[in-house]
Amino acid sequence: MCPPGWWCRSAWHDLLRCRFALSPLWETQAAVRLLARPGAHGHHLPWLRRIREDAAALDFTPLWLLMPDGGHNPDFICPPPVGPTTTFEEEIDGVRGTDPLVAREDIALALAGRPDRPAGERMLADPVRAVRELADLLERAWRVMVEPHWPRLRSLLEADIAYHSRRLAEVGFERLLGEISPRLRWTDSTLTVAGTRGNHTRVLGGQGLVLMPSAFVWPDVVGGHEPPWQPAVIYPARGIGGLWTPAGDRTPDALARLLGRARADVLCALDEPAGTSALAHRLALAPSSVSAHLSVLRAAGLLTSRRYGHQVLYERTPLGIALAGQEA
């Protein structure tokens, strides 16, 4: 993966190969990186408080060593996702299957130009062991830091994809990129990712582009363009400011009296489209109860629903937005 500041030339046939994706493994390694970047903690302080004790028991030094700011980050520890439904198990199996020679080259690039460090030297000397230990560490990080919160995170990422897919149909690719991030600009068949740590140029050459939202990448926009990655832009997902806010804290008392507290909480929790399981996890309610509330709210014209991948996503209608006290 590369830092912000790269740009690439494209042609019309590349636009036909653009797709959205999400990656549990990407979120996991980004969460590990976040722990070492206090300046990016703001949106995630409630999550950090929840995982601090368990995360403190893990030694992330080998991963942090391979995550230099402004330098190369190994691609083999977060292989490109094949689509929006890729599972962590599928991705971590891909990491474990990495060719040791490929891993060694990737690690060497991440360590290039930096002082010799024993941990880095050990990884270069025994890439087979390095792949195994890094995969094990990523899996432990997933189990402790991300998996317990994955329904909420996945809901946010899927809602972002659903929203931007709709916006792509409404406004086209050029305008969509500017809406995804002010750092993105599409001019004369050239995609520019503005940053502060240099510029990189790549020709897409018909490979297309992957657009991937992330909960933990904020405030950066980063790109991947070296094999095995299809050219990709990873950007902050919409709605991360309210990601960890309890839904009940956003529910007006008057609306709770009108609809009932639980039903009003469901309506107000839908700042972004979400499915039944994600809402149940977020609200600490039984999925069956959430499903019943969603059915009533939809029948009353406050919600609409549509299938996305393996689940049904619900979102507020203009009337639902007005009742929830949000601007349309």
Q: Is 58 strand, coil or helix? A: coil
Number of neighbouring beta carbons within 10 Å of residue 70: 12
Whole-number Å distance between alpha carbons of 153 and 221: 18
pLDDT in tens, 126-185: 999 999 999 999 999 999 999 999 988 888 888 888 888 888 888 887 788 888 888 787
Mean pLDDT for 16-22 is: 80
Whole-number Å distance between alpha carbons of 253 and 265: 10
Whole-number Å distance between alpha carbons of 237 and 276: 20
Q: Where are the alpha helices (DSSP H) in 224-275?
A: 253-259, 261-269
The confidence score (pLDDT) of residue 191 equals 74
Q: Are residues 262 and 272 in contact, defined by beta-carbon separation less than 8 angstroms?
A: no
Q: Is 306 strand, coil or helix? A: strand
Mean pLDDT for 225-240 is: 80
Q: Please list the residues that pair with 191 across neighbouring strands.
A: 8, 186
- State yes or no: cis peptide before 273, omega within 30 of 0: no
pLDDT in tens, 20-76: 888 999 999 999 999 988 777 778 888 998 998 999 999 999 999 998 877 788 889
Long-range contacts of 316-321 (CB under 8 A, 24+ apart): 316/267, 316/270, 320/267, 320/270
Mind listing the domains of the chain with CATH numbers? 6-20+152-239 (no CATH), 24-149 (no CATH), 245-323 (1.10.10.10)
Whole-number Å distance between alpha carbons of 211 and 213: 7
Whole-number Å distance between alpha carbons of 126 and 76: 16
pLDDT in tens, 199-222: 555 666 667 788 899 999 888 888
Q: Is 213 strand, coil or helix? A: strand
pLDDT at 12 over 70: no
Tell which residue, 186, 244, 198, 188, has the closest CA to residue 222.
198
pLDDT at 328 over 50: no
Whole-number Å distance between alpha carbons of 7 and 192: 4
The confidence score (pLDDT) of residue 188 equals 67
Q: Are residues 207 and 232 in contact, defined by beta-carbon separation less than 8 angstroms?
A: no
Q: What single letter denotes the amino acid at residue 180?
A: I
Can you read off the two tokens belonging to residue 80? 């490109």
